[in-house]
Amino acid sequence: MNRDREFGEFVDARALVMRRTAYLLCGDWHRAEDLVQTALTKLYVAWPRVRRDGAVDAYARKILVRAAIDEGRRGFRRRETVVDTPPDTPVSAAEPGDPAVRRALAALPPGQRAVVVLRYWEDLSLTETARLLGRTEGTVKSQAAKGLAKLRELLGSHVLEEQR
């Protein structure tokens, strides 16, 4: 099987999941598309090595999270953009989560948001999340606890209990 066909099959199978995860990381569908494109470009370059190692999903997720954190640090992305009209594209039924939860996630710092999304949306273990983010397990626990506390503060504890 050639490289382009293998990569294309991976993209067909995982692009939607990557887009949803990116959306939860950044809170904007257009930025999520940009993050996925950035991640897929970097993945394509490393494809032979990553495929050989057998960790394609983990590597793709790692690139996606790092791209989201890096983008979040750029000053021009920190400004809110107000629009007069809603977007032309309707909200998809596959859109993850409640709008209030997505707004609360957007209020978290990028590192906490990444930990919360990976631990509770992607359902990664503590060890996997720590390895993916290049942090210690203690840091991941701390960031998860702080992120969940902030979400509870923003949403009220009943909302998080209902989501389980």
CATH dotted code for 1-96: 1.10.1740
CATH dotted code for 97-164: 1.10.10.10
158 contacts 139 by C-beta, under 8 angstroms:
no
> How confident is the model at residue 92, as a pLDDT?
45
pLDDT digits (tens, 9 = 90+) for 101-137: 888 888 899 889 999 988 888 888 889 889 888 889 9
CA angle 27, 131, 5 (to 5 degrees): 70
User: Who's near 164: CB < 8 A, 6+ residues apart?
Assistant: none
pLDDT digits (tens, 9 = 90+) for 39-65: 999 999 999 999 888 889 989 999 999
Domain with CATH 1.10.1740 in the chain: 1-96
Q: Note the pTM of the prediction, 2 decimals.
A: 0.56
Would the pLDDT of 164 be above 60?
A: no
Cα–Cα dist 55/48, whole Å = 11
pLDDT digits (tens, 9 = 90+) for 65-92: 988 888 766 655 544 555 666 656 554 4
Cα–Cα dist 20/26, whole Å = 10
Domain with CATH 1.10.10.10 in the chain: 97-164
